Amino acid sequence: MLSHRFAKWLLVSITATLAWAFIGPTALCAEPGDVVIRIVMVEDEDEEPAAAGKAAAEALLKAMGDTALKAVLVSECFEDLEYKESLIEGVCSVLPAEMVMGGATYGSFTQAGCSDFDSVCLLGIGGRGVGVSARLVTDMGTAKLTFDTDQDQIREKLHAAGEKLAGKLRRTDNDKLLILVADAHSPKNQFLVEGVQKVLGKQFPITGGCANKNAGQTFVYFKGKAHADSAVALMLSGDFQVALSGRMANQNDTVIASAEEGAAEALKKLKGKPIAALAFNCAGRRSKLNDYQDELDAMRKAIGDDLPLFGCYCAGEIGPVDNDQEKSDALSGGSGWHLMFTLIGKK
């Protein structure tokens, strides 16, 4: 029995070791005022979600070095709640559940590659230069409503949910970026963002993505627990800059071209040196690619191969909406078929 357990552990450890190769350059000792962002991804081919979660969490801790974690964003695509909960339990067996949040997605990508099967990607945020405030809103009341028939009701409920969620956040004068993860797939996500903007204003930088909408798979995570019909907000504040871009496309060539354009636009806008990239991407865009890697390679052309990149495939994206026909007066909105790209940088 013992040797059997050991064999399983070893197998997962090997997987984790491979995943560690995905990690960007590590900052083992953070300087005062630093913002430390690290990303790990673990793929599980053995249907061992708890072990995968544990391995990912351990890899993240190692990548963070001496820097204490303040928040961990999860993107996972295990199948069915039982496996998802097991995965999160694995993560929380290593990391404090209070800081673990995120959502079920259609997969993740980092500098090392893309995953669309049983996998977990963790974004770790720490350092003295960053503050976090995370909140959850539940029972939004829209999970069972369809846009075609219930649009007015969805608008009303998600405006209220967004306003309530943003209103709960601990605010500072140095708030820089809100990350939203929600059970509000496109086009519902626009209404949630509008609700949040009632509190934060239309020009506040917001990015994020919507949870996997496959039947029985739609969950967001907060404090290590799975929630349906809910949304999570993570406010980042501190001495750093952000730059956002959004690109819409739904054909192989345009998906690839727009990924490079979007990443390049964010880089051009960023005042300072980039320290990490967040890419909330559309699973539909991915499906149009002949090779998933092509879109990732296009982003790399703009940002290079070394910058820590946290990417996930969503059912709706939040960020600057790419629509020339209907220009918005808001910086961010909710849409589909988008790559919402955010760079975080330091002066």
Partner 1 sequence: MRSNLVDRWPTYTALLLTLIACQTVLAADPVALRIESFGVAPAHAPSAVVQIKNLRDVPYRGVLRVTVPAVWQLSPTEQEVDLAPGQTKRVPFVVKRGTIAQENVYPLEASATGGGVTVTRRQNVVTASAPYFKPEIDGKIDDWKDAIPVTFITGGKKTVVHTFWNRRQFSILVAVEEERWIAHGTEPNCDAVQIAISPQDTRTGTSAEEEATRFEFLLVATGGGTQGRGEGTQGKCFKLAEPGMALGVGSKLRELESLAFDDAVVAVSRVGGVTYYECGIPFKLMRDRIRPSEGREFHLSVLIHDPDGTGLRDWGAAAGMWPSQRNRLAWSLWPGAVWGEKPPFDNKLQWGLCSSKY
215 counts as binding partner 1 under rule CB under 8 A: yes
DSSP label of 25: -
Q: Which residues, other chains included, contact 279 with Cβ-Cβ below 8 Å and sequence gap of 6+?
A: 109, 263, 299, 309, 310, 311, 312, 339, 340, 341, 342
Give the contact letters, 261-290, x = binds to partner 1 (CB under 8 A), - = no: ----------------------xx-xxx--
294 counts as binding partner 1 under rule CB under 8 A: no
How far separated are the first and last CA of the chain, in Å rounded? 55
26 counts as binding partner 1 under rule CB under 8 A: no
Least distance from partner 1 to the Cβ atom of residue 115, Å: 10
| CA 115 – CA 121 distance, rounded (Å) | 9
Least distance from partner 1 to the Cβ atom of residue 286, Å: 7
Looking at the Cβ atoms of 146 and 174, the one nearer to partner 1 is 146
CA separation, residue 152 to residues 188, 256, 317, 336 (Å): 11, 35, 21, 19
Sheet holding 108-110, edge to edge: 113-115, 108-110, 309-314, 273-282, 338-346, 241-248
Out of 156, 225, 250, 304, which residue is the one contacting partner 1 (CB under 8 A)?
250
Out of 147, 164, 168, 199, which residue is the one contacting partner 1 (CB under 8 A)?
147
Q: Angle formed by the axes of helices 189-200 and 147-168, to 10°?
A: 30
Query: Which 77-96 residues touch partner 1, going by CB under 8 A?
Result: 79
Out of 60, 336, 340, 344, which residue is the one contacting partner 1 (CB under 8 A)?
336
Looking at the Cβ atoms of 98 and 253, the one nearer to partner 1 is 253
Task: Specify whether the CB–CB gap between 106 and 51 falls below 8 A.
Answer: no
213 counts as binding partner 1 under rule CB under 8 A: yes
Looking at the Cβ atoms of 58 and 118, the one nearer to partner 1 is 118
What the block records as the tokens of 7 is 């064999």
156 counts as binding partner 1 under rule CB under 8 A: no
- Of the ranges 29-37, 131-139, 206-214, 219-227, which one interacts with partner 1 (CB under 8 A)? 206-214
| CA 332 – CA 197 distance, rounded (Å) | 9
User: At residue 79, what are phi and psi to the nearest 5 degrees?
Assistant: -100, 130
Task: Using CB under 8 A, list all residues that contact partner 1.
Answer: 79, 106-107, 116-117, 146-148, 212-217, 250-251, 283-284, 286-288, 315, 336-337
